[in-house]
Amino acid sequence: MGDLREHALVLYRASATADAALESLSERDARMTVVVLAREETPRTGCCDTRSVLWNRISRDLAREDLSRAADALGNHERVEFRVLGAPASDPAGAIASEAARCGADEIVLADPRGSGLGRMERRRLRRRSAVPVRG
């Protein structure tokens, strides 16, 4: 896997490619924080707008399902932390870069770059905004 780091923030979204990447990363003697992106809409302050609340709940539920699959793919979770990363729909790259800084990650790994949930422009934005290298 090249340059070994001590702590990787892994952006995961359920797929066979992402599962294989997790297995490969787990062979390193490093900590991992596996995050699944839950894109969230800002709730409107107007009367009775429940659409964004419902969307955010569904987004988080789907993210938890993906986290469960990630945990199953890894088996041994000794050095792995799993979390749902709530991110504004308008700035997922900023949320990921901030999370990497918050948890002290040495790198960000996109477990399945094409299936990460980030579009091409968002991946570029993440690479520009991140203080640590982004792989994948």
Q: Which amino acid is at 18?
A: A
Q: At 82, phi and psi to the nearest 5?
A: -115, 135
Q: Residue 52: which pLDDT band, with cuts at 50, 70 and 90?
A: confident
Q: Give CA separation, 72 vs 43, 98, 122, in Å.
A: 33, 27, 28
Q: Which amino acid is at 97?
A: A
Q: Give CA separation, 77 vs 50, 69, 70, 96, in Å.
A: 37, 13, 10, 22
Mean pLDDT of 76-105: 90
Share of the chain above pLDDT 70, in %: 92
Mean pLDDT of 28-37: 89
Distance CA 32, CA 36 (A): 13
Q: Is the pLDDT of residue 5 over 70?
A: no
- Condensed to tens digits (0 to 9), the pLDDT of residues 7-18 reads 999 999 999 999
Domain chopping of the chain, boundaries: 7-135
Strands 80-88 vs 7-11: parallel, antiparallel or unpaired: unpaired
So what's the pLDDT on residue 48? 62
Q: Is the pLDDT of residue 84 over 50?
A: yes
Domain 7-135: assigned CATH number = 3.40.50.620
